[in-house]
Structure 1
């Protein structure tokens, strides 16, 4: 069976818009969650969020002059930055102008793409100015716009597609690309996901009253995964991207290898049992974790660390419980576990990919990044695992195998197993 390795990483996140700044923020526990004046003006209860600051990024590096005309899609911009950075990080160049690269493809997911472009278009149409919409309205607002932009910019001739599975999207895209390479249908796949910024994306969650409303003056303290004082998830946005490649191709190119994808699993709880549109079916979560381990040929006791979904809500304790049941491990024997929601908020469709990038960085650096705002671990969690399993500061530690999972609205799940590359 074809081995699949990671040869490139890219990120555009609330606390770092390139790999170096992102890594330093994760190590130091720096949050990218900020007060958003626009949300106060619009009378949101939660007036904080995490969004990438890209004002100093030269978009000429990522878009042609023609592509920049009428560009009004934050998720598309984030995805193009992360995706192209990952491709360059892997030592890859765009295909020649004459012929696509038949061996390389892209699976890049999103939730809502181009919501601000939609709003702009609706106003023009309502004002009878349809002809002034511009030629880019469709491609900036179709869900597959991000994969189409990346595929065309890089000249990718294999599968070019977009997936969408709520908060599971980014992790699912990685597993989809992994399976395509493992089956021999591609040599390289650019995988990842992106999410738009702004009130038209975040408003629905504010209306559901699942966002924290008491931290508007203290934004960096608001997202508190696994904490007794967790008050809801903080919305975020951005993009993460990884280049997956067959080991044979990577060695042939002399490419850097940052880790190996050992296996993964995707499933749904069918909104049965304790599952619903907004809550996970615990049995399905446990089944997904077990199937990922089986696919990877790894036992639960071999996991050195876990990067959970852990959104800083009341469901965090249930997630840890599901991990203990799926692995059959609890107490002091439980792996180290962390969440990056305290650093960047919950980046929705981009969450899985941004967190996959961070998880691979942990593996490559042999370091577990600390949990932010987790000084008061929830007592229900402490009844399951020891406090030492939840690091609050980053620390170097031997890491061979890490699990990363995402669970999304619609009762959908994805879990991937990464390992250190060994020849």
Structure 2
């Protein structure tokens, strides 16, 4: 018999809210975290706006020691540690460096890039023949698994401790990998999530590809426009999201707060076939990912109340809606409500799936649908498929039972997870 898996802790570091309380308030009120950044303009970027979480030096010391912060400049690891530690505490656990090794708990925490600032610093030092000035943390800050290495030691986990990386799908994939581990009895608890840094060296490549908007440098909060006819490219974002997954048996035994249940999901790839490319999805594979997620979760398409889409504010938004409609066989007024958190925080790249999963679960726990901002002019390709009232521009208080969350990433990779309100 397979274990049921529930969510008992949440943590988030987002451009529009650091910490669960601030983030919840922001997504309910439709508050944008997109701002203008002078440094981007100074470096010649076309898109000079982005979403960067506000984290003070004092705030950093609440999560990492002065020794850990010495020579430290990886925002990906910082954001990930903050979100993950908050989630672990939110689930009712202590953070104690002298705790016993916990073989029942593990983590899968993903990222796209780590320590690019440290890489740059290292290159200059090596070129100047100053290798010994690199510092003792240069390796852990620049290796892909640096985030899981930090967290594994801080929390003392003895189960699987690893990092995954699948572009924009990373966070949703991490969640599903952790879910499978608990479902199959390999762990009692898995801390899952993903993070992405706010380095202009990460964002620069996308600016060069001309996939980011350049039209809203004077009006940053209006820049991220998923599903809008006037969308002109995505806005870069950064941060981290984290969720504590736990077997239902373990959660009930310790009387834990349960945010929602994870029913199932699916991960697949379009293989860059059938019009799929490095940057464009294979529609057939996307639809199969969604359909297989429903099969794995043992639910009907008609049971889904809300979709939290990938929806990046590019020309592919209409195709995504079409894929959802075809996979679910629902359209017009029969289509579920759908929203995109990216309207408020931008595209947080590798962190997107995790931050958006936190937002999806909050909708179930607090029974609301967060608004799509900057979407007063829905693209006609989309209104031809679904009713405009299914794309709310104001928060709706509503009984939410099932939310589907999907991510579709660079490299033609897909993931879809199904969350359900927990009922005893």
TM-score range relative to shorter protein: over 0.9
Q: Is the 8 A contact 1:10 1:19 kept in 2?
A: yes
Match for residue 139 of structure 2?
A: 138
Query: Structure 1 residues 98, 46: closer, same or farther in 2, change over 3 A?
Result: closer
Match for residue 3 of structure 2?
A: 2
SS at match of 2:324: helix
Match for residue 189 of structure 2?
A: 188
Match for residue 91 of structure 1?
A: 92
Q: CA deviation at 1:198?
A: 2.0
Match for residue 168 of structure 1?
A: 169
TM-score (norm 2): 0.99
Match for residue 220 of structure 2?
A: 219
Match for residue 30 of structure 1?
A: 31
Q: CA deviation at 1:267?
A: 0.1
Match for residue 209 of structure 2?
A: 208
- 1: CA distance, partners of 2:70 / 2:78: 13
Q: How does 1:64-103 map to 2 (within 5 A)?
A: 64-94=65-95, 97=98, 99-103=100-104
Match for residue 59 of structure 2?
A: 58
SS at match of 1:58: helix
1:308-341 superposed Cα distances (whole Å, 9 cap, x missing partner): 0000111000000000000011010110000001
Q: CA deviation at 1:99?
A: 3.0
1:41-89 superposed Cα distances (whole Å, 9 cap, x missing partner): 0010010110111026522221122211111101110001000000000
Q: CA deviation at 1:94?
A: 3.4
Q: Is the 8 A contact 2:85 2:95 kept in 1?
A: no
Q: CA deviation at 1:102?
A: 0.3
Match for residue 354 of structure 1?
A: 355
- 1: CA distance, partners of 2:254 / 2:62: 25
- 1: CA distance, partners of 2:202 / 2:59: 25
Match for residue 241 of structure 1?
A: 242
SS at match of 1:78: helix
- 2: CA distance, partners of 1:57 / 1:167: 30
Match for residue 392 of structure 1?
A: 393
Q: How does 1:190-339 map to 2 (within 5 A)?
A: 190-339=191-340
Q: CA deviation at 1:199?
A: 1.1
Runs of 4+ with >4 A deviation:
none
- 2: CA distance, partners of 1:288 / 1:241: 23
Aligned length: 423
Q: Is the 8 A contact 1:10 1:241 kept in 2?
A: yes
Q: CA deviation at 1:355?
A: 0.2
- 1: CA distance, partners of 2:239 / 2:138: 21
Q: How does 1:121-160 map to 2 (within 5 A)?
A: 121-160=122-161
Match for residue 344 of structure 2?
A: 343
Query: Structure 1 residues 96, 57: closer, same or farther in 2, change over 3 A?
Result: closer
After superposition, the CA RMSD in angstroms is 0.9
Q: Is the 8 A contact 1:95 1:156 kept in 2?
A: no
Unaligned stretches of 5+ in structure 1? none
Unaligned stretches of 5+ in structure 2? none
- 2: CA distance, partners of 1:80 / 1:360: 20
Q: Is the 8 A contact 2:97 2:154 kept in 1?
A: no
Match for residue 423 of structure 2?
A: 422
